[in-house]
Amino acid sequence: MLRGGGQLPAAAAGMPWRRAWRRIEAMRLVSLAALLLLSVSAPLGAQTLMPAAPHIPEGTDEPPPPGTVMLDKAGYVEAAIRIDMFEIEAAKLAIERTRDRAIAAFAERVIRDHDTSAGELRVLAYQGGPVAAPTMTLNTFHNTRLAALRIADDFDRQYLEKQIESNLEAGRLHGGYASAGTDQALRGFAGRAAAMAQAHLEEAEALRVTMGPPS
């Protein structure tokens, strides 16, 4: 029996009291070590289950993964300007190549809307603190899309498909910044840009339906 009336563990019963006491102390230390190991390893194990955020190296010419939302001012401005530039260039190509009056009229509206959007964005980009001047050239991703349109045999269908893809991406970019962007004035702009992308998306989808299935 231990001091205070406690009973010896079964493993220590029948041993001389000094030996039994050493056995109890050893068991207690092992238990404490096990608890300490669990307390340290549990948070580490939890961290390994967390998905890593996508990493976009600074200055890269590669587009962010689909669905990526730019919440910093400079990143958002850069991505939004490139969308405007791509939409305008693709629409100019559509006016040159299409023989469909409805698609040509849609392309003209796209140019007007994105020209207005780009002008407003350039003004807002320099309000509330300086930012690096946005890159006024298309990146590899958008240049590849334009190159595909230039050689497309079924141009009208391909143009509308690219419009649907581009406006879905634009909607995610602008909608994300409107909800949680770091610049209040740009958040208002992003909300309007998201609405414009949605309108263009719906019009492109409607035009694609009128074309019927691919031949």
In a domain, 186, yes or no: yes
Percent over 70 (pLDDT), the chain: 63
In a domain, 23, yes or no: yes
Residue 69 has what pLDDT? 61
Q: Range of 36's domain?
A: 10-48
Q: How confident is the model at residue 103 (pLDDT cuts 50, 70, 90)?
A: very high
All residues at 6 or more sequence positions from 167 whose CB lies less than 8 Å from its CB, including other chains: 197, 198, 200, 201, 204
In the block, residue with structure tokens 């996508």:
54
Residue 75 has what pLDDT? 87
In a domain, 181, yes or no: yes
In this structure, are 172 and 94 located in the same domain?
A: yes
Q: How confident is the model over 170-189, as a mean pLDDT? A: 92
Measured CA to CA, the distance from residue 98 to residue 107 in angstroms comes to 10
Residue 48 has what pLDDT? 28
In this structure, are 39 and 88 located in the same domain?
A: no
In this structure, are 32 and 137 located in the same domain?
A: no
In this structure, are 108 and 147 located in the same domain?
A: yes
Residue 36 has what pLDDT? 40
In a domain, 55, yes or no: no
Q: What's the chain's average pLDDT?
A: 75
Contact status, residue 209 vs residue 149, Cβ threshold 8 Å: no
Q: Is the pLDDT of residue 10 over 50?
A: no
Q: How many domains does the chain have?
A: 2
Residue 149 has what pLDDT? 93
Residue 28 has what pLDDT? 53
In this structure, are 82 and 163 located in the same domain?
A: yes
Q: What is the pLDDT of residues 131-164, one digit of tens each?
A: 555 666 777 888 899 999 999 999 999 999 999 9
In this structure, are 77 and 116 located in the same domain?
A: yes
- The CATH number of the domain holding residue 132 is 1.20.1260.10
> What DSSP string runs through 20-87?
HHHHHHHHHHHHHHHHHHHHHHHHHHHHHTSPPPPP--TT--SPPPTT----SHHHHHHHHHHHHHHH
What are the backbone angles phi and psi of residue 60, rounded to the nearest 5°?
A: -70, 150
In a domain, 180, yes or no: yes
Residue 123 has what pLDDT? 87
In this structure, are 28 and 131 located in the same domain?
A: no
In a domain, 103, yes or no: yes
Q: Is the pLDDT of residue 115 over 80?
A: yes
